[in-house]
Amino acid sequence: MDPLLTFVVILIGFYGLSTSKNIIKSVFSVTIIESGVILLFLNLGNLEGGSVPIVGEAFTGIVSDPLPQALMITTIVIGSTVTALALMLCIKVFHHYGTVEWREILRRGEGK
């Protein structure tokens, strides 16, 4: 996969984050950015012509580094947990303010 494509995914996430007026859309835009960063790290950790890092008797050649893969699976688990927490906070904000629009929440918050 081309690293340029991962930068496009990251830029799509930043565009969504900068133009969203809804909290839920902002949470999903941050998730898209996170996915793009994960793809970038996996692309940079991959070697052209590299093999799996399992060494046997007849092993010869270049080995791909397994560390980026292990770190990114940890990042996926932590990111899904943070996304679930952020969506739960969106539910709490909706119950308190009656909306999930950024401007409406800020307007109602200034009146208190």
What are 12-41's pLDDT values in tens digits?
999 999 999 999 999 999 999 999 999 998
Q: In this structure, which CATH number among 1.10.287.3510, 3.40.640.10, 3.20.20.70, 3.40.50.1000 belongs to the domain 3-47+66-110?
A: 1.10.287.3510
Residue 66 is given by DSSP the state: S
What are 55-99's pLDDT values in tens digits?
665 666 777 778 888 899 999 999 999 999 999 999 999 999 999
Q: Where are the domains of the chain?
A: 3-47+66-110
In degrees rounded to 5, what are phi and psi of residue 111?
A: -75, -10
